Every structure is written in structure tokens, then in C-alpha cells.
Amino acid sequence: MPDKKTSAANQFIQSLPHSVALGMELVEIGDGFAVIRMPYDKRLIGDPETGVIHGGAVSALMDTCGGAAVMSHPSGANGTATLDLRIDYMRPATPGQTITARAECYNATRSVAFVRATATDDDHERPVAAATGAFTLERSK
């Protein structure tokens, strides 16, 4: 049976229509970090000649993973929204391979959370993309 944090993260991901449409799946969640994967899907190809997944799908994966990391931070977030997200694309993801994002909420102020994320395919030594972002941090009053 999933714990409370896992259940909340799954609910967060499943509440986002784009996450469902992209087939995102929670792999792991902990205090201030999340790991989410997105299986290869031909519907998400950005370049039909190469079969490479569109960068927008990778961006959505990293954004969602960053939000999940904020929601799991010990500071007790009840909600979050992306304020700023910078993504550096380092190489195309290998066609046919699942893309996995890992995000860490490494600092949280009263109202803003800061996140780092990396996306990889089967080659974990060479990231597909890296991101840094700032997210709102909504708490109970």
C-alpha cells in the first residue's frame, strides 16, 4: 500500500491532464525529491525523420517532476506553480527509450521553492537535459 507522500504525488500527477496524456509515471518520491518517467510514445515525436521526442514533452516532464519535488518538501507545501524554469537541452533523447526526470527541491523560503532537475534516457552518464527553476510554495495558514 502506498504511503501518504506517494499517494499525494500520484494524485498531483494524475490531476494534470498533460501528465496523463504524456503517460507520466511516478517512480520515487521522498523529502524534497521526485523521480518521474515518461515512456517513449510515437505520438510525442518532434522529428519524424529521427524519431526523437519533442523537446516540449521533455520540458513538461521536468516541470511536473519539479512541482512534485516541491510538493514533497518537508516545508509542507499544499500547492505549487512554476514561476521560472530554465532548461538546457544537451542532446536528443534516444528514440525508443523511456525518459526519466529526477528533481530536487534544494531550498525553500516562505513563498518560493528552488529546484534542480535532470532528464536522462538509458544513458545515465549523459543527460538529455538539465533544469533549474523557481516554484510558488503555498502552505496552510
The tens digit of pLDDT for each residue in 28-70 reads 999 999 999 999 999 999 999 999 999 999 999 999 999 999 9
Q: What is the reported pLDDT for 135? A: 97
Q: What residue type is 140 in one-letter code?
A: S
Which residues span the domain enclosing 26? 4-139
CATH code for the domain of 84: 3.10.129.10
- Name the band, by pLDDT with cuts 50, 70 and 90, for residue 121: very high
pLDDT of residue 2: 62
Asked if pLDDT for residue 1 goes beyond 60, the answer is no
Whether the per-residue pLDDT at 16 is higher than 80: the answer is: yes
Which set of grid coordinates corresponds to residue 66?
519539479
Given a cut of 80, is residue 141 above it in pLDDT?
A: no
Please give the pLDDT value at position 36: 97
16: left (phi over 0), alpha (psi -120 to 50) or beta: beta
Buried b (16+ CB within 10 A) or exposed e, 4-19: eeeebbeebbeebeeb
State pLDDT tens for residues 63-107: 999 999 999 998 878 889 999 999 999 999 999 999 999 999 999
Strand partners, 84: 134
Say how many domains are in the chain: 1
3 state SS of 39: coil
pLDDT of residue 14: 84
pLDDT score recorded for residue 79: 85
Q: Which pLDDT score is estimated for 15?
A: 82
